[in-house]
Every structure is written in structure tokens, then in C-alpha cells.
Amino acid sequence: MPNIFERSLIRIGDGGLTLIIPKSWALAHRLEAGDIVRVKTNRKLTVEPVVIGKWKRKPTSHTEKK
């Protein structure tokens, strides 16, 4: 059975919203500032870390070609 919690969204700038997760959740999922997460929407909103093999994927520079 999944854990379900309610969190408040914080307004950033002119329209963006930020979801802040507790430190204990970040530690439990080995998340750090700068890590990439995948947000899935399909009647639900799911946030999960992006993992390649055993390693978390780090963001690439905006100047790099994909």
C-alpha cells in the first residue's frame, strides 16, 4: 500500500510552482539538489527519480546537444 501525504505548493516567480519534499524523503530515495526527477501526469501526478542502471542521471548543460 503506498504512503499518501499532502504537501503545499509554493509560488515561484510569475507562475511556477514548487513542491518541496521533506529531507527524510530525499534521503530515503537518495535524492540531492540538482538530481533529475520525472513527472508523469495521467489523471495522477507521479514524481520519481530518473535512474540509468544503478546511477541517478544528472542534468546536462544547456549548451550540450542531445
For the chain, give every domain's residue range: 9-56
Confidence of residue 46 (pLDDT cuts 50, 70, 90): confident
Rounded to two decimals, the pTM is 0.59
**CA distance linking residue 50 with residue 56, whole number of Å:** 6
User: What Rg do the C-alpha atoms of the chain give, in angstroms?
Assistant: 14
Q: How many residues does the chain have?
A: 66
Closest CA to 39 of 49, 29, 28, 30: 49
Beta strand 55-56 with 51-52: parallel, antiparallel or unpaired? antiparallel
The pLDDT, as a whole number, for residue 29 is: 83
Contact between residue 17 and residue 10 where contact means Cβ atoms under 8 Å apart: yes
- Domain 9-56 CATH assignment equals 1.10.10: no
